[in-house]
Structure 1
Amino acid sequence: MKFKNIHFIINPGSGKEEPILTYLHQALTDTEINWEITVTRKEEDTFNTAKKLRGKTGLVVIYGGDGSVTKAAAALYNGNTPLAIIPGGTANIVSKELGIPQNSREAIDLIVNGNGKVRHMGMANKRPFLLRINLGIMADMILDADIKLKSKLGQVAYGLTALKTTIAAEPLTYRLTIDGRQVTEEGVSLTVTNAGNIGIGDMSFLPGISVYDGKLDVILLKSADPLSILQLAGSTLFQTASDVLKHWQCTNVLVELSENIKYICDDSEEQANSIEISVLPKALNILVPK
């Protein structure tokens, strides 16, 4: 599928340092594509720009990290305007999960020659999300990460923060209603995810998690003691099942806690004691390789 009109949204504060405007100019100058560029200045610019473009251009392209991608996706879901991604961040989990080239020039070639497919999104307390919901230490790792350290060390900053949050981890009691079935479990972390990739190479939380299956994966980490963390690292590295994790697949899950806690929805901080999460099949058109 080729596009006559393309609007690029560029986040200049993303993790990569490269001449992305030069790459776009070189790839598009001799084509018949009409293209425009918006460079964001504020955090809300990505969502607002993408929302204004719904139905007014053939394709919206976001250059940035997972935060920028998820904001653009939230603005475009349940509409007819497709989204394309040029990975420009630190982890780029969404693009890795979808098989989009991590090299910017190759991702631009995909856009120029395009092939669109329908992908899935989720909804958490009426807020759309593309990747995942994190509670417990997985949320604390992101919430407590030092911004300056992250800009210098990238994902290593999350690892350092994870060490601190793991040591201080206290289990929570999660009351789960998974596709109508009630379960009560204690754990130090709960993740409801639409994608398996953790942002490090091709590593995934667990084998078999796919953004293509139309299912949500609910993953509970029961303990953060050294032996459990060692087992978790081994299962992630070698892609094997682990008894330190509990795993369910569903299309709808209600998470209830005894008190309000902070959690992460994609990259945004939220707070609640009850979160209703569901999958939205075929809610977003994303340009992906054949």
Structure 2
Amino acid sequence: MKFNHIHFIINPASGKEEPILSYINQTLDNTGIEWELSVTKRNFSAGEIAKALIGKTDLIAVYGGDGCVTDVAGAIQGTATPMAIIPGGTANVMAKELGVPVDAKAALELLVNGKLQLKVVDMGIVNDHLFLLRINLGIMADMVLQADRDLKDQIGQLAYGVTAVKTIAEAKPVTYRLTIDGKAVEETGVSLTVTNSGNIGIGDFALQPGISITDGWLDAILLKDASFTSLLKAAGSTLLQNETDAIKHWQCKEIIIQTDADQRFICDDSEQVAQLLHIKVVPAAIRIAVPAEI
């Protein structure tokens, strides 16, 4: 599949430092593909740019991290305009989820050689805010929130591992009152994730087996405690893709989360605060260009 016109949205504040404009020009020069680009600014988001491009280009290609990708996805959700991902962030989880090369040059080359197909993927919505990847509460959120920006620039995703040591040591259980597809459940844990995507951003490893971004379901995953045994079991579950009693896992279309006090949480790359989270799946929300299956 080839596109006659591509509009690139560039986030200059993304995690990588590379000459992306030169890459685009070199890759698309003399290909016959018409292209334009827009650059995000503090008061001019990727989503705002994408919304103005709906129906005016064959493909919106976004260069940035997962937050930028989610912003564009939210803007074009429910329209016929597809998007492509040119990874430019620290983790690039969505690119890994979809098999898009994390090397920007390789991702751009796909746009030229036509070895692409459009994949219809789900999104989620929390308190009227669209997301593409997941919602994290507890230590999974704290690990991201407390990561040092300079350290992220130096060692990438390993910065989250450094922060994880501290957040695990300080972890305090939270009581979550859940309503999962209409059924009330009360659970206590140190981490709660509601996810649309399985990939954790490291290789092909997934949070839990059976998670799919195209199945019309969300997955809620609770880590009961931060003991060494539980963490070891949880890590083994991710590596070996098997079930463990250290984690509770539900599939759902809708989940309501209530806590006794406001909780900081991560919605993809965005920090938010709430005491009540109302989360629903948005099936078949967008079309993303991904490497064609051989």
Query: What band does the TM-score fall into relative to the shorter chain?
Result: over 0.9
Question: Structure 1 residue 115: deviation in Å?
Answer: 2.1
Q: What CA distance in whole angstroms lies between the structure 2 residues aligned with 1:167 and 1:7?
A: 46
Percent pairwise identity: 56
Aligned partner of 1:186 in structure 2 is 188
Q: What CA distance in whole angstroms lies between the structure 1 residues aligned with 2:69 and 2:30?
A: 27
Q: What CA distance in whole angstroms lies between the structure 2 residues aligned with 1:117 and 1:231?
A: 33
> Given the alignment, which residue of 253, 269, 290 partners 2:271?
269
Aligned partner of 1:139 in structure 2 is 141
Between stretches 236-245 and 185-194, larger displacement belongs to 236-245
Unaligned ranges ≥5, structure 2: none
Equivalent residue runs for 1:136-215 within 5 Å: 136-215=138-217
Between stretches 125-134 and 74-83, larger displacement belongs to 74-83
Alignment TM-score, normalising by the size of structure 2? 0.93
Q: Which amino acid aligns with 2:72?
A: A
CA contact (8 A) 2:8 2:35 kept: yes
Question: Structure 1 residue 40: deviation in Å?
Answer: 2.6
Q: Which amino acid aligns with 2:19?
A: P
Aligned partner of 1:72 in structure 2 is 72
Q: Deviations over 1:75-114 (max 9, x none)?
A: 2111221110011222111011111122323322322314
Q: What CA distance in whole angstroms lies between the structure 1 residues aligned with 2:118 and 2:239?
A: 32
CA contact (8 A) 2:66 2:93 kept: yes
Aligned partner of 1:254 in structure 2 is 256
> Given the alignment, which residue of 115, 118, 143 partners 2:117?
115
Q: Cα RMSD between the aligned structures?
A: 1.6
Size of the alignment, in residue pairs? 290
Q: Which amino acid aligns with 2:142?
A: D
Aligned partner of 1:102 in structure 2 is 102
Unaligned ranges ≥5, structure 1: none
Question: Structure 1 residue 43: deviation in Å?
Answer: 7.3
Question: Structure 1 residue 39: deviation in Å?
Answer: 2.5
Question: Structure 1 residue 224: deviation in Å?
Answer: 0.4
Q: What CA distance in whole angstroms lies between the structure 2 residues aligned with 1:107 and 1:226?
A: 39
Aligned partner of 2:56 in structure 1 is 56
Question: Structure 1 residue 20: deviation in Å?
Answer: 2.3
Q: Which amino acid aligns with 2:8?
A: F
Q: Which amino acid aligns with 1:265?
A: C
Q: What CA distance in whole angstroms lies between the structure 1 residues aligned with 2:176 and 2:190?
A: 10
- Structure 1: 4+ residue segments shifted above 6 A: none
SS at match of 2:222: strand
SS at match of 1:203: coil
